[in-house]
């Protein structure tokens, strides 16, 4: 691994992918009792919180314990030919008939997942367990869940006027698995339980540098820029990306603010990675809550609404791009006008 120039080893011995072109600063790390934490959450900037013990009761969630206690229902496991697990919305595939799904979602029992996990060999399809925690879990897991530090979470939710907790995703990954860069429209406390994950985060203002797929595309909210092989001819602004970087390990909680772009990679030196996230709706915004000029988080929401509305109004999502070009080209920009519609 050390000789493979696609990877690097940091001073703590964590091994992950090398991205020389992407400029980053370290994500601030703070002890759980630091008053500074609230300042970061208020500004909606990422921070890694140490020693909080948010999900200490899940430390015992190794494969044996989960096998015995999580319940027999099938669980959601993504299967990928590569190490990348890009999220896509299967219900939107019909809109893009040429779209080839980058991975497959399978439903399997914990027994099946564990068998695949233990017998996996390099070169085989990779697997990534990603299951929303529901009340079908057995009583032991349910008790562990109840013992998470809900008082801390609730105090943050109240203080920052967030909406309800929407879900908790349990992720169990193989070393080297990568979740490519994307954003979610939710606040996220991301708790690391086992193993290490390297994270790269970018302010929502890097929208133009990350070239998100169109709203109606199955890969909505995902960037088209592949960090491992950036196509600077198609995506020239990707050269200007600058963000934050860190490694989260057991006991760390990363605050991922709403609409911040994030890339997450299970480090190669980890045996297994287990994480639990806490997704919260942002508080609902009324017009009087808006502060002008809009911040990029809000611009993103506005742009999504415009794309959605136009898709409906034009009756065909493939009309949205040409319509927006017709509004902008030659008027707001020097881009040439599409003359293909002008013949009579």
* Closest CB to ligand AKG: residue number: 179
Which CB, 277 or 297, lies closer to ligand AKG? Answer: 277
Which CB, 22 or 201, lies closer to ligand AKG? Answer: 201
CB of 206 to ligand AKG, least distance (A): 17
What does the block give as tokens for 303? Answer: 């742009």
CB of 16 to ligand AKG, least distance (A): 13
Q: Is-contact 12 247, C-beta < 8 A?
A: yes
> Rounded distance, CA 218 to CA 200, Å?
23
User: What residues make contact with ligand AKG under the rule CB under 6 A?
Assistant: 171, 179, 184, 188, 190, 197, 262, 264, 275, 277
Q: Is-contact 181 22, C-beta < 8 A?
A: no
CB of 184 to ligand AKG, least distance (A): 5
Report which of 45, 22, 24, 18 is spatially closest to residue 240, judged by C-alpha positions: 22
Which CB, 69 or 179, lies closer to ligand AKG? Answer: 179
Report which of 151, 318, 181 is spatially closest to residue 244, judged by C-alpha positions: 181
> Rounded distance, CA 250 to CA 52, Å?
11
CB of 262 to ligand AKG, least distance (A): 6
DSSP 38-105: HHHHHHT--EEEES--TTGGGTT--HHHHHHHS-SS-EEEEEESSSB-----GGGGGGSTT---SSEE
Which CB, 258 or 310, lies closer to ligand AKG? Answer: 258
Q: Is-contact 255 152, C-beta < 8 A?
A: no
CB of 136 to ligand AKG, least distance (A): 21
Q: Provide the 10 A C-beta neighbour count for residue 7.
A: 15
Which CB, 217 or 262, lies closer to ligand AKG? Answer: 262
CB of 285 to ligand AKG, least distance (A): 21
Which CB, 80 or 275, lies closer to ligand AKG? Answer: 275
> For every residue of 248-286, which 3-state class applies, written as one string?
ECCCCEEEECCCCEEEEEECCCCCCEEEEEEEEECCCCC
DSSP secondary structure code for residue 139 in this structure? H
Which CB, 247 or 310, lies closer to ligand AKG? Answer: 247
CB of 292 to ligand AKG, least distance (A): 29
């Amino acid at each position: 691994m050390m000789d493979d120039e696609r990877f690097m080893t940091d001073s703590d011995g964590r091994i992950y992918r090398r991205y020389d072109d992407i400029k980053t600063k370290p994500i601030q790390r703070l002890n759980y009792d630091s008053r500074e934490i609230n300042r970061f959450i208020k500004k909606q900037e990422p921070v890694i919180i140490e020693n909080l013990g948010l999900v200490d009761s899940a430390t015992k969630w190794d494969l044996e314990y989960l096998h015995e206690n999580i319940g027999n229902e099938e669980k959601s496991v993504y299967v990928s030919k590569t190490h990348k697990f890009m999220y896509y919305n299967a219900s939107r595939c019909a809109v893009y008939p040429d779209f080839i799904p980058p991975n497959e979602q399978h439903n399997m029992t914990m027994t099946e997942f564990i068998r695949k996990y233990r017998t996996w060999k390099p070169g085989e399809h990779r697997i990534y367990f990603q299951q929303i925690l529901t009340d079908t879990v057995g009583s032991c897991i349910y008790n562990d869940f109840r013992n998470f530090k809900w008082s801390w979470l609730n105090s943050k939710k109240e203080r920052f006027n967030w909406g309800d907790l929407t879900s908790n995703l349990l992720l169990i990954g193989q070393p080297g698995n990568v979740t490519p860069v994307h954003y979610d429209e939710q606040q996220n406390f991301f708790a690391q339980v086992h193993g290490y994950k390297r994270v790269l985060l970018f302010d929502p203002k890097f929208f133009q540098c990350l070239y998100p797929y169109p709203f109606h595309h199955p890969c909505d909210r995902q960037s088209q820029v592949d960090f491992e092989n950036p196509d600077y001819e198609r995506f020239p602004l990707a050269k200007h990306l600058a963000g934050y970087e860190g490694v989260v390990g057991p006991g760390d909680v990363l605050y991922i603010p709403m609409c911040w772009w994030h890339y997450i990679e299970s480090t190669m030196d980890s045996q297994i990675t287990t994480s639990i996230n806490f997704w919260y709706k942002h508080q609902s915004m009324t017009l009087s809550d808006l502060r002008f000029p809009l911040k990029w988080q809000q611009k993103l929401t506005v742009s999504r609404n415009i794309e959605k509305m136009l898709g409906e109004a034009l009756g065909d999502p493939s009309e949205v791009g040409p319509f927006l070009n017709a509004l902008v080209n030659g008027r707001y920009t020097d881009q040439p006008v599409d003359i293909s519609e002008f013949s009579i």
